[in-house]
Amino acid sequence: MGEQVNQVMGDIPFALDHLGVAVSNLQEGFKFYQSLGFTKMDIEEVPSEKVRVGFLNLANSCSIELLEPMSEDSPVAKFIQKKGPGIHHVCLRVKGIRGVVESLKSKGVQLINDEPRIGAHNCLVVFVHPRSTGGILLELSEKQDQVGSS
């Protein structure tokens, strides 16, 4: 079965990229996934978000992203303090992120960052505020090699 992409906003394809899960400690958070049979977690630091992330790759080209705060003032640390560990955000893969951002802004959608910034895997990312999505923090992500190619 091939990858299905929903066409919305004209010809801009969206696909589920990952689920972000806030954890206090990557290695502790990884223990459960090891019980499922995961043996590898790719770890990377994302200074712009003050987090260390551990990616667990799934068979359908999506992943689970464990998020460990690197400082007490990181958004993930604040999330854990307020709500405890758990699902932090949903990420959609997109092509033409700058056009998507402009379209969302023109429709009054509240963004956390108005301009794409560098996230994990050197992707450009923008976060949509939960007030605009029905309560879900939504990340939009575009691989750098796709920027401008849409």
Domain count for the chain: 1
Residue 127 lies in a domain: yes
Per-residue confidence (pLDDT) for residue 75, from 0 to 100: 94
Does residue 105 sit within a domain? yes
pLDDT, mean over the chain: 90
Residue 104 lies in a domain: yes
In a domain, 101, yes or no: yes
pLDDT at 32 (0 to 100): 97
Res. 1: pLDDT tops 50? no
Do residues 97 and 116 make contact, with C-beta atoms less than 8 angstroms apart? yes
Establish if 94 belongs to a structural domain.
Answer: yes
Q: What digits encode the pLDDT tens for the residues 75-125?
A: 999 999 999 999 999 999 999 999 999 999 999 999 999 999 999 999 999
Structural domain containing residue 96: 6-146
Query: Mind listing the pLDDT tens digit for each residue in 26-79?
Result: 999 999 999 999 999 999 999 989 999 999 999 998 999 999 999 999 999 999
Residue 109 covered by a domain: yes
pLDDT of residue 10: 56
Q: Which pLDDT value is given to residue 145?
A: 75
Structure confidence at residue 134 (pLDDT): 95
What is the reported pLDDT for 69? Answer: 98
Considering the domain boundaries, does residue 1 fall inside one? no
Return the H-helix or E-strand segment holding 44: strand 42-46
pLDDT bucket at 5, cuts 50 / 70 / 90: very low
Which CATH number do you get for residue 38? 3.10.180.10
pLDDT at 2: 46
Q: Tell me the C-alpha distance between 125 and 58, whole Å.
A: 21
Long-range contacts of 106-115 (CB under 8 A, 24+ apart): 112/137
- The answer to the question of residue 68 being in a domain is yes
